[in-house]
Amino acid sequence: MFRESAFSLKLAIEGARLGTWHWTVNAEEIRMSDSCLSLFGLRPGTPMTYDNFFSYLHPHDRQRVRQAISRSIEEKVDYNEDYRVIRPDGTQRWVNAIGRPFCSANGAVERLEGIVQDITDRRAMEEQIRQSNGELHRLARTDALTGLPNRLAANERFHLEFVGMKRSRKAYAVMMVDIDCFKRVNDTHGHAVGDQVLQNLARTLQRTLRESDFAARFGGEEFLVLLPATDLPAALQVAEKLRHAVESSPDPVAGRTTVSIGVAMADPEHAKEGEAIRQADDALYQAKRGGRNQVRSAPVA
């Protein structure tokens, strides 16, 4: 009966592609099953010492595994670690190792025993999922037409900036940019040309703004710009530079294009993160009513 149970256990372990190991604390040799040695790219019966074991681990994983083993011995707890094995032929495999400490009669840990499983395929699948999720996250926050961040991304960025301002008390500037007479472009030349005008403005924004600045398509022909750690005079200079750059870059079909820009300062005393955006929007419409192709700023409290 015992022999049958042992044989069944052996089949189960092999079927699950598991390797077993046994290490007597303070002894050099680690006894590994043939299937465990196979995971390391080693032949059956290959001797394995404690120090030699770590030479097969990826350099970035060695310290973490050493700490897990030490903690298991010191605190008498199981450990469960994923790490990379570098085989003699240079190939790399991910494995999951589970270890359990066993104590002698005096209560001290005398040995560790455990199992090792090849999880390379699982880790590859997890990485694919992670990359897919990252791509979905990026696509959900990118405007498909211009390639700029969209309104969702803008809302997230402005929330972080607002929270940071509350903590640091360092204000930032907001610009609301709107293409003048955009409906006329669509009505006269068609939506394909209108899309081209939007794309040209997006490129001008990227070319004109500083690396630390943030620009997003907020909706329709309206774009939102964040200027971190920028006071009002500097923000007005950036806005005027952008206005001039757009006016100086006519569209091949639509011709001369202009923008109106509203500028406002976020204040650490603002109760809501959208207050500066609202003020910049009000200033934008002052620029529209004032004749377009100009920059207006919201009153500073």
State the DSSP code for 290: T
How many domains in the chain?
A: 2
* Confidence check: pLDDT of 178 > 80: yes
Same domain? For 97 and 154 the reply is no
Domain identity same for 103 and 219: no
Q: What is the DSSP string of 125-157?
A: HHHHHHHHHHHHHHHHTB-TTT-SB-HHHHHHH
Structure token pair of residue 252? 């091949």
In a domain, 73, yes or no: yes
What CATH number does the domain containing 112 carry? 3.30.450.20
Alpha helices in 175-274 (DSSP H): 182-189, 191-208, 232-247
pLDDT number for residue 37? 95
Q: Classify residue 74 by burial, with Cβ atoms within 10 Å: 0-12, 13-18, 19+.
A: exposed
For the ranges 60-64, 103-107, 215-219, 236-240, the lowest mean pLDDT is seen at 103-107
Residue 26 lies in a domain: yes
Q: Give 12's pLDDT tier (boundaries 50, 70, 90).
A: very low
| 110 and 186, same domain (yes or no) | no
Among residues 262, 272, 236, the alpha carbon closest in space to that of 162 is found at 272
The mean pLDDT of 184-207, rounded to a whole number, is: 96
Query: Is the overall model pTM greater than 0.75, yes or no?
Result: no
- Higher pLDDT pick, 8 / 32: 32
Give residue 5's pLDDT: 46
Examine the domain organization and report whether 98 and 215 are in the same domain: no
221 tagged catalytic: yes
How far, in Å, are 162, 181, 233, 283, 296 from residue 172 at the CA level?
Answer: 9, 29, 12, 16, 17
Same domain (yes/no): 18, 85: yes
**Confidence class of residue 276 from pLDDT cuts 50, 70 and 90?**
very high
Domain boundary among 94, 124, 154: 124
pLDDT in tens, 53-106: 999 999 999 999 999 999 999 999 999 999 999 999 999 999 999 999 999 989
- Are the C-beta atoms of residues 41 and 67 closer than 8 Å to each other? no
Question: Of 9 and 99, which is predicted with more confidence?
Answer: 99
CB of 91 closer than 8 Å to CB of 118: no
Residues ≥6 apart with Cβ < 8 Å to 301:
267, 269
CATH of the domain at 168: 3.30.70.270
Give residue 299's pLDDT. 84
Instruction: Choose the final residue of a domain: 71, 91, 124.
Output: 124
Q: Are residues 76 and 187 in the same domain?
A: no
Closest by CA position to 116, among listed 159, 56, 60, 185: 56
Same domain? For 88 and 219 the reply is no
User: Of 135, 221, 222, 275, which residue is the catalytic one?
Assistant: 221
Indicate whether 237 belongs to any domain.
Answer: yes
pLDDT at 300: 73
What is the length of the chain?
A: 301
- Taking only the tens place, the pLDDT of each residue in 186-195 is 999 999 999 9
Domain around 203 = 145-297
Give 126-151 pLDDT, tens digit per residue: 999 999 988 999 999 999 999 999 99
Q: Are residues 159 and 280 in the same domain?
A: yes
* Average pLDDT in the chain: 92
Widest distance between CA atoms in the chain? 96
Q: How confident is the model at residue 11 (pLDDT cuts 50, 70, 90)?
A: very low
Question: Is 277 a domain residue?
Answer: yes
pLDDT at 16: 54
At residue 264, what are phi and psi to the nearest 5 degrees? Answer: -145, 160
In a domain, 132, yes or no: no
131 is a domain residue? no
Residue 161 confidence (pLDDT)? 96
Per cent of the chain over pLDDT 90 is 89
* DSSP codes of every residue in 85-101: EE-TTS-EEEEEEEEEE
The answer to whether the CB of 266 falls within 8 A of the CB of 275 is yes
Residue 79 lies in a domain: yes
**Same domain for 273 and 239:** yes
Do 85 and 163 lie in one domain? The reply is no
Shared domain for 171 and 113, answered yes or no, is no
Q: Which token pair is 299?
A: 């009153």
Cα distances (angstroms) measured from residue 215 to each of 202, 226, 262, 268: 8, 6, 14, 21
Q: Are residues 113 and 150 in the same domain?
A: no
